Amino acid sequence: MEGGYISKEDTHMVVCYVLELSGRKCPEQYPQKAQMYFSSVCAGCHGNDGKGLHGNYPDLTKKHLIGLQRIKKD
């Protein structure tokens, strides 16, 4: 993601919100404003469900985008 759309301070709450959109549970509590923040900043491109719009923007709920994919060791 290009810089300027989300601050470092807000990243954690948005990641937790997207994690829950993907059907997983965030291990930490995130603020109620996370849904509003996602809706106003992210959903325009990624959709209210975080799954992207018409293939033009990535599905944020995929494991590799939210850092849940395991790295294969050779």
pLDDT tens-digit map of 19-62: 888 888 888 888 888 988 899 888 988 899 999 887 788 888 88
State the pLDDT confidence band at 71, using cuts at 50, 70 and 90. Answer: very low
42 three-state secondary structure: helix
Q: Do residues 53 and 47 make contact, with C-beta atoms less than 8 angstroms apart? A: yes
* 67-10-20-18 Cα dihedral, nearest 10 degrees: -60
Q: Give the pLDDT score at 48.
A: 92
Q: Against a cut of 0.95, is the pTM above it?
A: no
Per-domain residue ranges of the chain: 7-67
Q: Give the pLDDT score at 49.
A: 92
55 three-state secondary structure: coil
Q: Do residues 13 and 31 make contact, with C-beta atoms less than 8 angstroms apart? A: yes
Helix (H) / strand (E) containing 44 = helix 43-46
Look at the domain 7-67 and name its fold. Cytochrome Bc1 Complex; Chain D, domain 2 (1.10.760)
State the pLDDT confidence band at 74, using cuts at 50, 70 and 90. Answer: very low
